[in-house]
């Protein structure tokens, strides 16, 4: 362009400046479905963004527009709608009028709309939606004329008055419902469809009266006022109790979803005759993952009827026969949705006089088995890549796969059957309302929530229950959807059950179930049983094995298990553990046949006595190690030497005092009996059992208990966790570690001689200084030398240390001089870093700290990346500077938590170790950690996320 550079610069500067100012003053709050950015869920909410996207890629969505979440936040902050918002809305309404050829508020051809909530994350049923907006006395006439269906019009009107009354004016359902039921009763009809025009007219009139008497004002006739009040009500529902509770429970933070958008959408009607229908669908079966049409529909009904479970809908396949052409269209819609989103979709549709509309779509919530199967299937179908298949699964979900099933051997007969709405089996005491469920659940009772149907306000009852049972509603009813999301078993629509909340009982035929009676649900079959039925653990599916195989190939972190016994080792191996990262030898001590020997060892007053007891323990430990090593062969097994303070193996002082007191009483009885027998002049035959315990026996027992008591008092410490334990114990009583090391190495030697390939790793707990490690290492070296000489065979093993004290982190460079591996014990390390004792923290102040956001998470569950993580990084750096190939892992509980695993990957650890059932979760999380790190170009994701 022929402009001088200077001029151009000024112009650009100026105009960008103006643009900036303009955007501040007239921020755009409203977007038509045809214009909104389908990717911007933060701004438009999930529902709104998808309505935009579907419109733009050519699906038949009724025209409408989205009011942004920014407008919501602005409204909530200032308690009034942002300036200019309603003008923008009016402009969009005018566009809707143009697009539909109808008039908003028109008495001839009225445009009706719905006002729907929707935030960035789906919170099913947590916020409010109002349908049939724009009805008033005038538009009613128009609607009747337009449709020629007076009954339909009044049905729409009464629904609208109630919904608007409830949501926008705060009038409870209880004010409306009984009036509706009265009319039904008087008319002698059971289902809503049996009501005539006159009935519905009567109901509408009564409902208008309710509004008048409850609010002192007439129902708003001005359709713009209706719209404005509705928008405000939906915005406010973001801060409603239900929504707030839900966000707290699911840890939805403002950076995940902040405010709700409002979607204003032209109404389409599924209840205008037999060529109308409404339904919800999943693009695949969310219960099994099968690639098939799945969903439910109702002919001549409105969407809310399906969702609320008011009528029990039909399976979507029946639509193939009832409305074959529309069914084909629906199949086509389903295919387009999946091709576009490359993800299983959960969609809502309505058919109005033979035209199919899509009203909503979102990523389908599925149970774990279905999620895994769809991942494997969609990869095979070429719809997604292997990386996408791994990334689309929330690792936590996999825990569901390890949920129990009903034991098929259990010869139980179901008393009722409903729809298998969410798989898994659960037993518990029946409760008939959510408040009671919460109350009993909090007391630690296992409860099953039994309801006719559930509503969003029951949500707290779901959290507290093991499972949900409803007598009405389908697989997409509120109960089913919410239970599936939570991974809890649900049987829905068990129509044979009649729930009587007032009487606190339910009837099944002539059987009566009272509140508190135990029942069992099988959410996989829909069956309901009386009493508690035994369950069996779930099985690893081939799909899961395949998926986790991909995960292992992808991940750089290895996943080990914490396992203390041969049985736990076997189980961990089944879960795919690549070794044992932590075998706590003291857990082996607790078995009933060993504890007395351990106690002898502790009671020993001389080294000699102690060695005698230890010699009895040696073969026991060795045999255990042989089994554990063999179960894990050829993978490494890290064995931790004795860690807890010795008093943990003894009874408490309180218990001992009580036992001694009882023994003394008993001694008196024995003496008394002796005396009594002596005074009798005839012979007495006492049962043998009583003869056995002579006074001598009692005295022996007493003496032992008294010794224990002295020992307990001697061992008493002010702060046992900071006291005489771990390597401190190992150094002051060297015989103990000697025995343990000998047992480990002899076991390894025995395995090696049998040709079993094993890799033991000896790990020293609670280390603070190199001197401690050297001390223990010398013992190991002596034993190895002896063993190797005896067997003429070299032993493979590693020697290393836990890193669980702050000092160890700071001295890592030195420790790695001897230690060949580090294992972060993040439980103790967290306690030490925070100066919290875990039990006191979790029982006293931590919950409050979390609730009031003083601390975001429980650091004993989610690794504290900012604090503990810093120490870990320091130790990794120091350790690897000293020893390049230092093997480093984590064995605290946090090692099974996906966020912590991401951190471990980024910090360059070699492995994480967690409890057996967490292993599948960790394997997937390890793969995701790698994929995410690669995606962000090797830049630490957690560093970015958790930066202070």
The residue with tokens 């979390």 is: 850
The binding track of 821-850 with respect to ligand ADP, each residue x by CB under 6 A or -, is: ------------------------------
Q: Does 226 bind ligand ADP (CB under 6 A)?
A: no
CA angle (488 as vertex; 487, 492 as ends), nearest 5: 120
Q: Which is nearer to Mg ion, 362 or 711 (CB)?
A: 362
3-state DSSP helix/strand/coil percent for the chain, to nearest 5? 50, 15, 30
DSSP structure class, residue 646? G
Q: Which residues, other chains included, contact 769 with Cβ-Cβ below 8 Å and sequence gap of 6+?
A: 807, 811, 814, 815
Binds 828: which of ligand ADP, Mg ion, none (CB < 5-8 Å by kind): Mg ion
Binds 129: which of Mg ion, ligand ADP, none (CB < 5-8 Å by kind): ligand ADP
* Residues 818, 812: Cα–Cα separation, whole Å: 11
Q: Does 131 bind ligand ADP (CB under 6 A)?
A: yes
Q: Nearest residue by C-beta to Mg ion?
A: 828
Both tokens of residue 480?
Answer: 């089913």
The residue within the footprint of ligand ADP, chosen from 265, 776, 868, 912 (CB under 6 A), is 265
Contact 562, 610 (CB under 8 A): no
Both tokens of residue 255?
Answer: 């950076």
The binding track of 33-72 with respect to ligand ADP, each residue x by CB under 6 A or -, is: -----------------------------x----------
Contact 275, 354 (CB under 8 A): yes
Closest C-alpha to 211, from 160, 165, 159: 165
* Residues 423, 514: Cα–Cα separation, whole Å: 25
- The window from 190-198, 362-370, 510-518, 825-833 that contacts Mg ion (CB under 5 A) reads 825-833
Binds 804: which of ligand ADP, Mg ion, none (CB < 5-8 Å by kind): Mg ion
Binds 303: which of Mg ion, ligand ADP, none (CB < 5-8 Å by kind): ligand ADP
Q: Which is nearer to ligand ADP, 267 or 919 (CB)?
A: 267
The residue within the footprint of Mg ion, chosen from 338, 377, 746, 828 (CB under 5 A), is 828
Residue 129 CB, nearest approach to ligand ADP (Å): 4
The answer to whether 891 is a known catalytic residue is yes
Q: Does 899 bind Mg ion (CB under 5 A)?
A: no
Chain centroid offset of residue 662 CA: 48
Using CB under 6 A as the binding rule, the residues of this chain from 156 to 175 that contact ligand ADP are none
Q: Does 804 bind Mg ion (CB under 5 A)?
A: yes
Q: Which residues, other chains included, contact 581 with Cβ-Cβ below 8 Å and sequence gap of 6+?
A: 560, 561, 562, 638, 823, 889, 890, 891, 895, 911, 912, 913, 914
The answer to whether 809 is a known catalytic residue is no
Own/partner pairs, 161-164, CB within 8 angstroms, 24+ separation: 161/204, 161/207, 161/208, 161/211, 161/219, 162/207, 163/130, 163/131, 163/132, 164/130, 164/133, 164/219, 164/226, 164/229, 164/230
DSSP structure class, residue 300? S
Of these residues, 891, 897, 904, 914, which one is catalytic? 891
The residue within the footprint of Mg ion, chosen from 226, 288, 350, 360 (CB under 5 A), is 360
Closest C-alpha to 913, from 575, 675, 592, 510: 575
Residue 585 CB, nearest approach to Mg ion (Å): 13
Binds 486: which of ligand ADP, Mg ion, none (CB < 5-8 Å by kind): none
Q: Does 114 bind ligand ADP (CB under 6 A)?
A: yes
Residue 142 CB, nearest approach to ligand ADP (Å): 18
* Residues 811, 716: Cα–Cα separation, whole Å: 30
Contact 864, 520 (CB under 8 A): no
Of these residues, 199, 478, 647, 897, which one is catalytic? 478
Q: Which is nearer to ligand ADP, 37 or 304 (CB)?
A: 304
Binds 863: which of ligand ADP, Mg ion, none (CB < 5-8 Å by kind): none
State the DSSP H helix or E strand holding residue 619, giving kind and residue range, or none if neither: helix 607-632
Residue 281 CB, nearest approach to ligand ADP (Å): 11
Both tokens of residue 440?
Answer: 């009993």
Residue 348 CB, nearest approach to Mg ion (Å): 5
Contact 315, 420 (CB under 8 A): no
* Residues 555, 532: Cα–Cα separation, whole Å: 41
The residue within the footprint of ligand ADP, chosen from 136, 350, 374, 535 (CB under 6 A), is 350
Q: Does 825 bind Mg ion (CB under 5 A)?
A: yes
State the DSSP H helix or E strand holding residue 322, giving kind and residue range, or none if neither: helix 319-322
- The window from 194-202, 232-240, 299-307, 543-551 that contacts ligand ADP (CB under 6 A) reads 299-307
The residue within the footprint of ligand ADP, chosen from 303, 423, 428, 920 (CB under 6 A), is 303
Both tokens of residue 52?
Answer: 């935009």
Contact 345, 323 (CB under 8 A): no
Task: Kindly determine how many residues on this chain lie close enough to bind ligand ADP according to the rule CB under 6 A.
Answer: 17
- The contact set with ligand ADP (CB under 6 A) reads 62, 114, 116, 125, 129, 131, 265-268, 303-304, 307, 348, 350, 359-360
Q: Site residues (CB under 5 A) for Mg ion?
A: 360, 804, 825, 828
Task: Write out the catalytic residue numbers.
Answer: 478, 891
């Amino acid at each position: 362009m022929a402009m001088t550079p200077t001029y151009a610069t000024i112009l650009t500067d100026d105009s960008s400046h103006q643009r900036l100012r303009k955007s501040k003053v007239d921020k755009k709050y409203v977007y038509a479905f045809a214009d909104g950015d389908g990717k911007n869920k933060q701004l438009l909410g999930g529902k709104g963004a998808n309505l935009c996207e579907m419109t733009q890629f050519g699906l038949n969505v009724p025209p409408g527009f989205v009011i942004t979440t920014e407008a919501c936040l602005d409204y909530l902050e200032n308690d009034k709608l942002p300036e200019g918002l309603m003008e923008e809305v009016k402009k969009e309404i005018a566009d809707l009028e143009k697009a539909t050829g109808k008039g908003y508020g028109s008495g001839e051809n009225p445009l009706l709309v719905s006002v729907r909530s929707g935030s960035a994350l789906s919170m099913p049923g947590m916020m409010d939606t109002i349908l049939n907006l724009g009805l008033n006395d005038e538009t009613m006439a128009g609607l009747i004329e337009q449709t020629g269906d007076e009954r339909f019009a009044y049905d729409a009107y009464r629904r609208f008055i109630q919904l608007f009354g409830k949501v926008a004016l705060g009038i409870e359902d209880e004010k409306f419902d009984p009036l509706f039921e009265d009319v039904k009763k008087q008319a002698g009809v059971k289902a809503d469809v049996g009501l005539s025009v006159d009935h519905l007219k009567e109901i509408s009139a009564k409902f208008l009266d309710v509004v008048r008497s409850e609010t002192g004002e007439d129902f708003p006739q001005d359709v713009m006022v209706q719209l404005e009040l509705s928008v405000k009500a939906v915005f406010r529902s973001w801060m409603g109790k239900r929504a707030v509770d839900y966000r707290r429970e699911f840890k939805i933070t403002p950076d995940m979803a902040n405010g709700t958008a409002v979607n204003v959408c032209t109404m389409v009607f599924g209840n205008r005759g037999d060529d109308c229908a409404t339904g919800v669908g999943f693009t695949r079966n969310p219960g099994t993952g099968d690639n098939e049409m799945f969903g439910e529909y109702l002919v001549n009904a409105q969407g809310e009827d399906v969702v609320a479970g008011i009528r029990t809908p039909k399976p979507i396949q029946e639509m193939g026969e009832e409305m074959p052409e529309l069914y084909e269209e629906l199949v086509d819609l389903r295919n387009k949705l999946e091709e576009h989103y490359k993800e299983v979709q959960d969609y809502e549709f309505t058919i109005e006089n033979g035209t199919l509309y899509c009203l909503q779509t979102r990523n389908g919530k599925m149970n774990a088995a279905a999620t895994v199967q769809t991942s494997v299937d969609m990869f095979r179908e070429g719809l997604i890549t292997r990386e996408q298949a791994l990334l689309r699964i929330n690792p936590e979900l996999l825990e569901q796969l390890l949920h129990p099933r009903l034991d098929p051997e259990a010869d139980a007969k179901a008393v009722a059957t409903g729809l298998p709405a969410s798989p898994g089996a659960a037993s518990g005491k029946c409760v008939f309302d959510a408040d009671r469920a919460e109350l009993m659940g909090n007391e630690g009772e296992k409860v099953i929530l039994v309801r006719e149907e559930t509503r969003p306000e029951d949500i707290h009852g779901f959290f507290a229950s093991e499972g949900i049972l409803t007598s009405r509603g389908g697989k997409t009813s509120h109960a089913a959807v919410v239970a599936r999301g939570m991974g809890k078993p649900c049987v829905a629509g068990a129509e044979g059950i009649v729930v009587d909340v007032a009487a606190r009982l339910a009837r099944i035929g002539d059987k009566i179930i009272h509140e508190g009676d135990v029942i069992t649900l099988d959410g996989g079959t829909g069956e309901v049983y009386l009493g508690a039925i035994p369950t069996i653990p779930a099985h690893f599916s081939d799909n899961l094995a395949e998926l986790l195989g991909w995960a292992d190939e992808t991940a750089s972190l290895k996943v080990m298990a914490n396992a203390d016994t041969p049985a736990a080792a076997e189980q961990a191996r089944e879960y795919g553990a690549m070794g044992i990262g932590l075998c706590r030898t003291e857990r082996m001590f607790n078995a009933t046949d060993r504890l007395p020997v351990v106690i002898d060892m502790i009671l020993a007053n001389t080294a000699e006595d102690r060695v005698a007891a230890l010699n009895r323990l040696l073969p026991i430990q060795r045999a255990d190690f042989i089994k554990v090593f063999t179960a894990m062969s050829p993978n490494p097994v890290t064995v931790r030497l004795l860690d807890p303070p010795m008093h943990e193996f003894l009874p408490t002082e309180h218990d001992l005092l009580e036992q001694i007191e009882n023994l003394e009483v008993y001694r008196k009885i024995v003496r008394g009996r002796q005396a009594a027998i002596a005074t009798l002049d005839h012979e007495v035959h006492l049962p043998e059992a009583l003869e056995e315990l002579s006074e001598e026996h009692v005295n022996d027992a007493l003496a032992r208990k008294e010794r224990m008591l002295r020992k307990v008092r001697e061992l008493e410490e002010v702060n046992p966790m900071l006291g005489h334990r771990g390597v401190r114990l190992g150094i002051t009583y060297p015989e103990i570690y000697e025995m343990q090391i000998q047992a480990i190495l002899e076991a390894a030697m025995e395995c090696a001689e049998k040709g079993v390939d094993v890799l033991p790793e000896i790990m020293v707990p609670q280390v603070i200084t190199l001197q401690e490690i050297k001390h223990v290492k010398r013992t190991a070296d002596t034993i190895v030398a002896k063993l190797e000489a005896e067997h003429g065979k070299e032993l493979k093993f590693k020697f290393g240390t836990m890193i669980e004290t702050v000092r160890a982190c700071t001295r890592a460079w030195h420790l790695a001089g001897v230690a060949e591996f580090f294992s972060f014990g993040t439980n103790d390390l967290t306690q030490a870093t925070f100066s919290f004792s875990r039990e006191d923290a979790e029982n006293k102040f931590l919950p409050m700290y979390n609730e009031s956001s003083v601390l975001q998470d429980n650091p004993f569950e989610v690794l504290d990346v900012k604090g503990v993580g810093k120490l870990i990084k320091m130790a990794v750096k120091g350790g690897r500077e000293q020893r390049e190939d230092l093997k480093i892992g984590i064995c605290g509980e946090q090692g099974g938590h996906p966020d912590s695993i991401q951190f471990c990957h980024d910090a360059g650890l070699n492995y994480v170790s967690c409890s057996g059932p967490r292993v599948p979760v960790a394997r997937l999380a390890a793969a995701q950690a790698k994929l995410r790190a690669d995606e962000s170009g090797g830049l630490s994701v957690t560093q970015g996320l958790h930066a202070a």
